Amino acid sequence: MREPIESDLLRTFLVVVETTNFSAAAQRVGRTQSAISAAIKKLEDTIGETLFERGARGVVLTRQGVQLVPYARRVIDLLSEAAATIRSKPLGGPVRIGIPEEYSQTVLPAALAAFAVRHPAVEVTISCDYTVRNIAALERDELDLAVVFDWSDQMSGEVLCIDPTVWVTSIVHRLHDIDPLPIATYRDSSWCRDFALKSLHQLGRNYRVAFIADTSSGLKNAVTAGLAVTTLSRSNIPPGCRELTTEDGFPPIDSSKVVLRRNTFRSSEAVAELAEMVRDAFQPMAGPPMA
């Protein structure tokens, strides 16, 4: 029976993977090159496989090394999360956050669930609603945080990412070639009038409203079923659908900023930590810092 893999060996392994060089890895972690080599040798002996091919310019992962990478990252991430949870000061009190429906099943669930596990005494209330309503609730002191869309570049708050709104069609159904264009829209939405429908007028496209919904889930159902084309955040395009691009005659409708706004009259440590976790959840979408 082989010995269990030590977490420190996995940490060293991941540093070598990132630097592709034992010397550079040693400099990053403040150890000697021979110590790094010895750690990798011990890890290879424990697993019973060669993880790196050594060369004059550095090291390259073997097939077994490539297989180990995601498992090593998962183990280290879990250890880091466990340490952060145990060390964190228990927080209490209520936190009220408003989020768009677009992110209620994609970006935010992991962050909100992790926060709940780390701070079980905090009473988190989530309002899944339109941007206009969440902003109004924030201003009425009914929310502590709100993740909202900024279409006009006039809103204060912390920009989490850019997530343009685009026209979307079913891959199977070529509804975008039909005249008049069948579209799915939100019910009583000023954004639809000011942006989506205006974009069709600017393109000179005839259209008819074929589907009306109150939620983005309804719009996604309409486009997936081939009932209409619709407008969705680029990150929210469902399987079986695709963005209609400039080549199709449909440029992006807007360059929506996803903004985190805070209640200026109320704050707490719990609110601040949840804001940080929301920021981290959007980090993969954020891209390079904006000028």
CA distance 15 to 21: 9
Measured between alpha carbons, how far is 141 from 154 in angstroms, rounded to an integer? 21
| CATH code, domain with 211 | 3.40.190.10
Residues of the chain with pLDDT > 70: what percent? Answer: 93
- Residue 1 forms part of a structural domain: no
**What are the structure tokens assigned to 85, written together?**
């949870």
Instruction: Give the tens place of pLDDT for each residue, 94-109.
Output: 899 999 888 888 888 8
Look at the block and give the residue holding tokens 């949870």.
Answer: 85
Q: Are residues 190 and 149 in the same domain?
A: no
Tell me the residue range of the domain where 198 lies. 165-248
Asked if 226 and 119 sit in the same domain, the reply is: no
Distance CA 88, CA 70 (A): 27
pLDDT of residue 131 exceeding 80: yes
**Is the same domain home to 262 and 122?**
yes
Residue 217 lies in a domain: yes
Q: Are residues 151 and 174 in the same domain?
A: no
- CA distance linking residue 252 with residue 247, whole number of Å: 11
Q: Are residues 150 and 182 in the same domain?
A: no
Our CA angle for 11, 13, 14, nearest 5°, is 65
Q: Which two tokens stand for residue 117?
A: 């596990």
* Burial bucket for residue 225 (CB in 10 Å: 0-12, 13-18, 19+): middle
Query: What CATH number is associated with residue 73?
Result: 1.10.10.10
Give the other-Cβ count within 10 Å of 128's Cβ.
16
pLDDT of 279 above 60 = yes
Q: Which residues neighbour 254 within 8 Å (Cβ) at sequence distance 6 or greater? A: 151, 164, 165, 195
Domain match, 76 and 117 both: no
Asked whether residue 153 is domain-assigned, the answer is yes
The predicted structure's pLDDT at residue 89: 63
Tell me the pairing of strands 58-61 and 52-55: antiparallel
Residue with tokens 């073997």: 62
Residue 119 has pLDDT above 90, yes or no: no
pLDDT in tens, 155-211: 788 999 988 889 999 998 889 889 999 999 988 788 888 888 999 999 999 999 999
Q: In this structure, are 282 and 171 located in the same domain?
A: no
Same domain, 227 and 194: yes
